[in-house]
Structure formats: structure tokens, C-alpha cells
A and B are shown apart, each in its own frame.
Chain A
Amino acid sequence: GAGVSQSPSNKVTEKGKDVELRCDPISGHTALYWYRQSLGQGLEFLIYFQGNSAPDKSGLPSDRFSAERTGGSVSTLTIQRTQQEDSAVYLCASSATGVFGYTFGSGTRLTVV
């Protein structure tokens, strides 16, 4: 596609439910990142995928968060047993050329009620 696509654009869920957020990167981009943007905060790194290498999960805040990337393309971020503090915008970015090639999606705004 022409850009990084994220779905859904907005998601409202009840506390305790599981949610899945999807990221469809730019075709050919081998690197994929997830970031979280909480209200009034900058972006916080969550996880990084590069090709077939093991992902860098160092930014995941708890074991309720997990992510996978299938076939080196689409990625899904899963949050289990959602809590109110999980409410944030979740941004995905992909890159073909490392730090200079970041392209961000428009994010998913998650609201936990």
C-alpha cells in the first residue's frame, strides 16, 4: 500500500476484555515498530520486528501485551485483560532504510471503560 495502515482507527472496550490492533506496513519494509502515546505523553517504544529475526520486546509494559508479525508483513498487537491505564493511541511505523525511513500510521485510539 501507499502508507502504513492501522485498524481499527478507534476502539472502545470494557475493562478486562482482550483487544487486537492491526498494522499493515508499507510493502517491502522489513522493520516494523509499535509505539504507545498516552495522554500528555510522548511516544513510548513497545516492540520492534526486523525481518525474520527475534523481535525486540524490551518496551512491552507487562505480560498482558504481546505482538506478532506474520509472514514479515502484517502485525497484530494484542492486549489481554485490558486496564484503564492501557487507554492510549497505539502507533505503528515501518521502515526499509533504518532510522531515516520511518513511516508512521495514523494509529488506533484505544479507550478502556
Chain B
Amino acid sequence: AQTVTQSQPEMSVQEAETVTLSCTYDTSENNYYLFWYKQPPSRQMILVIRQEAYKQQNATENRFSVNFQKAAKSFSLKISDSQLGDTAMYFCAFTNSGAGSYQLTFGKGTKLSVIP
């Protein structure tokens, strides 16, 4: 069974600074996908960034980037130039590309607070 671990229950960062959220996962699969989702108080899960395991290049989406270390099974999220609107719960998620249902396995989340 796959597991996803987020070791930082809460983090804070000053506005305009950079913060890194950690995620590790455990799987015996070779092909899979990794995601970071953001959940604001509205409760709706919003996709921040995704990474295909077969791609060595780290994904980047504007201020968000990942550090994907396949051998270490690590998938951290870096948020640059933090903004007040980044305050939310962040969840790391995994799915096995061989699973037809693409059900997601989530970590327990990191609560990020951006301080003005």
C-alpha cells in the first residue's frame, strides 16, 4: 500500500519570503504521479502543481516549484514570494499510474500561515 507523509503539521512564513513544505511517500511502483493541493477555508481542493514520476525535470508553476527526488521518495513544494492568499492547508497526494481509477492517496496536510 502506498503512504504519504507530511512531517510538518504547521508552518508560517513572512509575506514575500520563501517557504518549503516537505512530503515523502512510499511505493513499490515505478510509474506514478504526485500532486500538491491547496485547501483554503472554502474547503475546495485546488490543484497547485503536479509531477509525473518518469520526468526528471522538476515541475514549476509560477511561484510554485517542486524538488522531486525519486530515489529518496521525496516531493517538496517551494513557494516563492509568499502572498497572504497562500494561507491554507496544503496536501501532498500520490496516485499509481497503473491504477485505472486514479484514486489519490493524501498526506495529513501542512497548515501554512503567511504573516503580513
Verify A89–B103 contact, CB threshold 8 A: no
Q: How close is A91's CB to chain B, nearest CB, in angstroms? A: 7
Total chain B interface residues with beta-carbon distance under 8 A: 24
In angstroms, Cα B60 to Cα A13, docked, is: 44
Question: Which residues in B have some Cβ–Cβ distance to A below 8 Å?
Answer: 4, 6, 33, 42-47, 50, 91, 93, 95, 97, 100-109
Main secondary structure of the interface of A (DSSP, over half): strand
- Identity of the chain B residue whose Cβ is nearest the Cβ of A46 in the assembled complex: B103
A1 at the interface (CB under 8 A from B): no
Given contacts A41-B108, A42-B108, A43-B91, contact A106 B103 (CB under 8 A): no
Given contacts A98-B102, A99-B102, contact A42 B91 (CB under 8 A): yes
- Identity of the chain B residue whose Cβ is nearest the Cβ of A45 in the assembled complex: B103
Residues of A within 8 Å of B105, CB to CB, are 45
Q: Which of A10-45 contact B (CB under 8 A)?
A: 31, 33, 35, 40-45
